[in-house]
């Protein structure tokens, strides 16, 4: 017996008729386990009381294993982690192809197997509305051997813990903060970070609401993983359900499978923010090679833009734009006004005059390819290779 969402019949004094009310109760659930020819090991949980809720658990790595088998590509698998793959490019292509699945058709195909009496009980026209109860999106770095990863994991965990300040983690998870890095005054959430060590490695995990980001190692695999249980905490541009005009607004992400691809993009961006923050870049390029990219004038749409003076008059601006907090957050004119006000670069300008000067300089940086403007927003991001 497990808890369930069901209904109870009661009498409505107002109408003089019986009615159904939602209720929490307990009932039996049926579990089905498959070693599926297309999706690998998976499970289905079916509630035996109305409304007959069904949960289908799929694992993308198990699914990938079947796809690699059909492609005759070799691999070494331990649990749900690939320790080695013969053709990594093919594996990545097959993983991304999973997002092109016709989800309603695929998920509905399982109901006939586990709930064959559904048409007789509910009628031929009744269908399930499919949602994502929980999703996990992972990015794996596969090392040559466990010893190579073991030598690095301690440094990575310490670095992730020391640099995983609350303001950065909030930015990882798409939550805005004030200029001083503190949460907004109306923030009503708790942030939790846990660091655990095991006999063969460790794990760091950041919790916000019921969503999390974590980093851990197992054998020769270093995994970054984003788990989403409350998608509405992430704001995305989408159309309002039922609005045929096609106008997009900044709304909470939905649980429905219509937002599977959006959820994949959001999860991937969270992981990207996380990985870039703890990454260490080693570059053997000479200073001359690096500066030559921006020390020459550029032309765009017939207009000439001056070269950047990275060691002179543009230094203060570049320092502000290169602040590590913008690795996980967007650059705005307002943020730069706070950072540059009172500096020699600002030339004693304030308010609208300082804003206009910053706007012109951001345009200059965009033309040199150092930053890019986010669509439909007055915000910019630095490209990872320019940081």
Per-position DSSP letters for 131-197, written without gaps between them: B-S-EEEEEEEE-SSHHHHHHHHHHHHHHHHHH--HHHHHHHTT--B-TTSPBPTT----EEEEEEE
Q: Looking at the predicted structure, is the pLDDT value of residue 353 above 80?
A: yes
Least confident of 5-14, 87-96, 280-289: 280-289
> Percent of the chain at pLDDT above 70?
92
CA distance 12 to 162: 59
Least confident of 28-37, 126-135, 248-257, 285-294: 285-294
CA distances (Å), origin 102, targets 91, 105, 277, 345: 20, 6, 35, 55
Residue 325: how many CB atoms within 10 A of its CB?
16
Closest CA to 369 of 380, 383, 379, 356: 383
Q: Tell me, yes or no, whether 260 and 341 share the same domain.
A: no
pLDDT above 70 for 185 = no
Q: Are residues 145 and 122 in the same domain?
A: no
- The predicted model gives 312-336 an average pLDDT of 81
pLDDT for 281 equals 46
pLDDT score at 280: 52
- What counts of helices (H) and strands (E) characterise the chain? 11, 18
Nearest Cα neighbor of 32 from 22, 45, 15 is: 45
Q: Residues 270, 293: one domain?
A: no
What is the tens place of the pLDDT at every residue in 115-142?
999 999 998 889 999 999 999 999 999 9
Specify which of 182-186, 241-245, 246-250 reaches the highest per-range mean pLDDT.
Answer: 246-250
Residues 73-86: what's their mean pLDDT? 93
| pLDDT at residue 313, as a whole number | 87
Q: Which distant-in-sequence residues (6+ apart) come within 8 Å of 118 by Cβ? A: 52, 111, 112, 126
- In total, how many domains does the chain have? 3
Task: Examine the domain organization and report whether 149 and 259 are in the same domain.
Answer: yes
**Distances from the Cα of 112 to the Cα of 6, 31, 68, 128, 234, angstroms:** 22, 15, 28, 12, 34
Mean pLDDT of 194-209: 88
Calculate mean pLDDT across residues 189-204.
85
Report the DSSP beta bridge partners of residue 142: 221
**CA–CA distance, 177 with 190 (Å, rounded to integer):** 14
309, 310, 312, 316 alpha-carbon torsion, rounded to 10°: 120
Helix (H) or strand (E) holding 206: strand 201-208
Lowest mean pLDDT among 11-25, 32-46, 269-283: 269-283
CB 8 within 8 A of CB 32: no
Domain stop point among 130, 164, 195: 130
What is the reported pTM?
Answer: 0.73
Instruction: At 367, give phi and psi (nearest 5°).
Output: -65, -30
CA distance 340 to 314: 12
> Running DSSP on this structure, what letter comes out for residue 14?
T
Residues 256 and 362 in one domain: no
Percentage, residues of the chain above pLDDT 90: 48
Question: What pLDDT was estimated at residue 163?
Answer: 74
Q: Tell me, what's the pLDDT at 384?
A: 58
User: What is the pLDDT at residue 212?
Assistant: 93
Q: Which helix (H) or strand (E) holds 122?
A: helix 118-122
Q: Which residue has the higher pLDDT, 199 or 235?
A: 235
Higher pLDDT, 247 or 138: 138
Task: Report the C-alpha gap between 318 and 297 in whole angstroms.
Answer: 17
Same domain for 216 and 328, yes or no, is no
One domain for residues 144 and 121: no
Which of 280, 303, 320 marks a domain boundary? 280
- pLDDT in the model for residue 383: 65
CATH number of the domain at 295, please: 1.10.10
- CA dist., res. 80 & res. 295, Å (int): 49
Give yes or no for residue 326 having a pLDDT over 90.
no
Residue 363 and residue 259 share a domain: no
Q: 1 in helix, strand or coil?
A: coil
Residues 48 and 126 in one domain: yes
Q: Is 120 found in the same domain as 2? A: yes
Q: Which domain, by its residues, includes 168?
A: 134-280
Mean of the pLDDT values across residues 331-336? 88
Q: Are residues 8 and 72 in the same domain?
A: yes
Weakest mean pLDDT among 112-121, 138-147, 245-254: 245-254
Report the pLDDT value the prediction gives residue 32, as an integer from 0 to 100.
Answer: 97
Q: Between 382 and 64, where is the model more confident? A: 64
Residues 351 and 242 in one domain: no
Residues whose CB falls within 8 Å of the CB of residue 387, separated by 6 or more in sequence, listed in order: 276, 281, 322, 327
Encoded tokens for 39:
């999706």
Asked if residue 259 lies in contact with residue 253, where contact means CB atoms within 8 angstroms, the answer is yes
Domain edge (last residue) among 130, 160, 184: 130
* pLDDT, position 290: 67
Q: How confident is the model at residue 282 (pLDDT cuts 50, 70, 90)?
A: low
Q: Average pLDDT for residues 275-286, to the nearest whole number?
A: 66
- The stretch 291-303 carries a mean pLDDT of 83
How many Cβ atoms sit within 10 Å of the Cβ of residue 76?
13
Average pLDDT value over all residues in the chain: 87
């Amino acid at each position: 017996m497990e808890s369930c969402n069901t209904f109870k019949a009661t009498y409505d004094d107002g109408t003089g008729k019986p009615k159904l009310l939602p209720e929490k109760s307990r009932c039996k659930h049926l579990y089905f386990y498959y070693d599926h020819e297309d999706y690998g090991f998976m499970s289905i949980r079916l509630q035996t009381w109305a409304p007959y809720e069904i949960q289908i658990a799929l694992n993308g790595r198990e699914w990938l294993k079947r796809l690699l088998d059909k492609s005759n590509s070799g691999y070494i698998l331990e649990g749900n982690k690939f320790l080695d793959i013969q053709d990594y490019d093919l594996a990545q292509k097959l993983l991304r192809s999973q997002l092109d699945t016709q989800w309603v058709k695929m998920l509905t195909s399982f109901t006939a197997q586990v709930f064959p009496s559904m048409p007789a009980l509910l009628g031929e026209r009744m269908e399930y509305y499919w949602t994502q109860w929980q999703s996990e999106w992972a990015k794996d770095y596969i090392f040559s051997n466990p010893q190579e990863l073991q030598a690095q994991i301690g440094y990575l965990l310490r670095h992730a813990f020391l640099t995983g300040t609350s303001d950065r983690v909030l930015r990882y998870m798409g939550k805005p903060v004030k200029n001083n890095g503190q949460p907004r005054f109306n923030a009503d959430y708790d942030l939790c970070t846990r660091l655990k060590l095991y006999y063969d490695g460790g794990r760091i995990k950041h919790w916000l609401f019921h969503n999390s980001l974590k980093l851990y190692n197992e054998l020769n695999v270093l995994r970054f993983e984003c788990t989403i249980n409350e998608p509405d905490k992430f704001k995305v541009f989408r159309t309002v359900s039922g609005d045929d005009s096609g106008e997009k607004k900044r709304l909470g992400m939905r649980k429905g499978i219509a937002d599977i691809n959006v959820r994949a993009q959001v999860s991937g961006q969270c992981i990207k923010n996380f990985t870039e923050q703890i990454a260490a870049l080693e570059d053997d390029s000479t200073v001359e090679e690096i500066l030559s990219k921006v020390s020459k004038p550029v032309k765009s749409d017939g207009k000439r833009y001056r070269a950047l003076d990275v060691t002179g008059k543009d230094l203060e601006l570049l320092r502000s734009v290169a602040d590590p907090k913008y690795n996980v957050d967007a650059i705005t004119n307002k943020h730069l006004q706070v950072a540059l006000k009172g500096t020699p670069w600002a030339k004693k300008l304030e308010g609208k005059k300082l804003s206009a000067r910053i706007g012109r300089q951001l345009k200059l940086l965009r033309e040199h390819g150092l930053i890019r403007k986010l669509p439909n927003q007055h915000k910019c991001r630095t490209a990872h290779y320019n940081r």
